[in-house]
Chains A and B, each alone.
Chain A
């Protein structure tokens, strides 16, 4: 039992280290991520740039990624640590996106298994998905109902709130 748990943790650490290395060597545009503390590879901090041509443009949004001990079998959880007003982000900052849902775990009962987490996904792919989620919210499975409503009915107001948040993250 101990042994298998240990070997799982080892797998997770090995995999996370590899991903970390890859992210440093060939960092994709608009994304940076890494462990908060080199002694604990299960807590990462990441920064996402707001995509261009969206109200999020110009912002840099910090978030934490928390990995389970059986990573990559189970997906990490992601939580924005700044104010985030978005239909698919819960009010506490937790991101709700299909790639972060383990197969068999479908809170909204409509995702196909292929869109969800699989061990072949990676931190990089999660962050890219989250970036495109910022640009194109999915209001069919809202996590923040208020944000859904505003986004659908009053786009100007939505843009205003988002831009205010952008300024906040930049400390303006």
Chain B
């Protein structure tokens, strides 16, 4: 599979991963050494996929190195100085080259590099100096080891080490560790740090450097999964595209997430709506449930009212409107026959109920989508359980039916597909909540319905007792393939819709 996204150098990266999940398509992590290459049916990405690569720490290091070499050869500076420059310019080559050609001295100065560094490259050395007294600890015994940068702010080795260690370990600084000398802005570069710092501190320094490299680059993002050390590179997506694509990427650790916002896979819903939805749910859901069950609104000012006792003659605290709790009609029309409230068809009562119905309907609508969303989220939380049970089932199946390990893998596959589909379904409800009703939306809802139905069927199959399950292998496999297919159809259609601007939202998308 060729990789369209590689505008860097042509080193072969990713060869240490043997992760390839062809059933989901599009996960391209390079060659699988030692395995026969699996050729996917089509090298073209589906509409809902984005090209991306997984980078290991070594790859990131390599990329940094190659960028440094590239710039160093253009500018004719030492690698150490170029590193400092690149850090100062947040790894933005173009900006660096442009500004440097305009004012080399000024830029070197600003970035904290001694201007005469490169013409007669100085070697950093830890050495004793005669008659020296350290300005920090005031130690002046002969043979004291000292260190200084080009600025000649010389301190004893111990104090310097202490200073560097504090900067790196306590403050987490890597980009801009300046000379400890008073108001000196010269930066202690990689070479200096390596010379002075202990091993563990230097390692930490390199980790921090790698981190800034990824953080500063808009085409790179760390995988947010716990303990995962990979970064994802995705070139085709920039922030302004996020309204029309959902750039979902998969890390070598298996975690799927959105490159745009870093949240877990939320296809087919776009990032803005995801944020709105999550916020709405945090604010609203339970409260809305309770309101719906326990309150009515004042027909005049729409204040939410909980009736906690007394008769049906209500007087709104807020607007002083008097109404009947039973029919929501104006109290004036009840006269003295208020007790059985026979005024069902009174005009004002009907109108008031209409109004009430409208605001209830919007609540109901939200709850409709929320309940379905929450249901799938709950199911997703049970995924771990499900998977453990699957594993148990597989061992059982192996011992009872005499099937081999490879033959029962279809259950693991089914479980994985089920989990992924629930994740997708969950977000279809958030997406649908914000969609304007039109013919396009009907198509979307049909797709959603089909997927929902297929998922339920597969889920049902999955719960069957173990004896039956053995005989259902082909059925389960068929269903799995079908479900996965439905999911792809839904995602494909939504993604195309996003690209073509086919969806209309009830809220404004900024």
Interface residues of A (CB under 8 A from B): 11, 14-15, 17-18, 72-73, 103-104, 113-114, 118-121
Contact = CB atoms under 8 A, between A and B. Distances in A.
B346 to A, nearest CB: 60
Interface of B: 135-139, 159, 162-163, 166-167, 170-171, 173, 178, 180-182
Given A11-B137, A72-B136, A114 B171 contact: no
Given A103-B166, A120-B136, 6 more contacts: A11-B138, A14-B139, A113-B171, A114-B178, A119-B163, A120-B180
B181 A72 contact: no
A121 B183 CA distance: 10
B178 A15 contact: no
Contacts of A15: 136-138
Contacts of B159: 119
B154 to A, nearest CB: 12
A114 B162 CA distance: 17
B229 to A, nearest CB: 26
Contacts of B139: 11, 14
A121 B95 CA distance: 36
Contact of B170 (A17, A103, A119): A103
Contacts of A18: 138
A103 B165 CA distance: 12
B447 to A, nearest CB: 49
Nearest to B153: A120
A134 B284 CA distance: 51
B171 A72 contact: no
B138 A14 contact: yes
Nearest to A19: B138
A43 B246 CA distance: 63
A25 to B, nearest CB: 15
Contacts of A14: 137-139
Contacts of B171: 103-104, 113
Contacts of B162: 73, 119
9 contacts: A11-B137, A14-B138, A15-B137, A73-B162, A104-B171, A119-B159, A119-B163, A120-B135, A120-B182
Contact of A113 (B138, B173, B181): B173
Which 10 residue pairs spanning A and B have beta carbons closest together? A18-B138, A119-B136, A15-B138, A11-B137, A14-B138, A104-B170, A120-B182, A120-B180, A104-B171, A103-B171
A118 B137 contact: no
A91 B359 CA distance: 55
B160 to A, nearest CB: 10
A119 B180 contact: yes
B156 to A, nearest CB: 10
A18 B133 CA distance: 11
A120 B162 CA distance: 12
A3 B230 CA distance: 44
A19 to B, nearest CB: 8
A72 B166 CA distance: 13
A70 to B, nearest CB: 10
A171 to B, nearest CB: 38
A119 B139 CA distance: 14
A139 to B, nearest CB: 25
A120 B167 CA distance: 14
B132 to A, nearest CB: 14
Looking at A17, A18, A121, the one whose CB has the most chain B CB atoms below 10 A away is A18
Contacts of A103: 166-167, 170-171
B185 to A, nearest CB: 9
Contacts of B163: 118-119
A120 B166 contact: no
A122 to B, nearest CB: 9
Given A103-B171, A104-B170, A113-B173, A118 B180 contact: yes
A11 B180 CA distance: 18
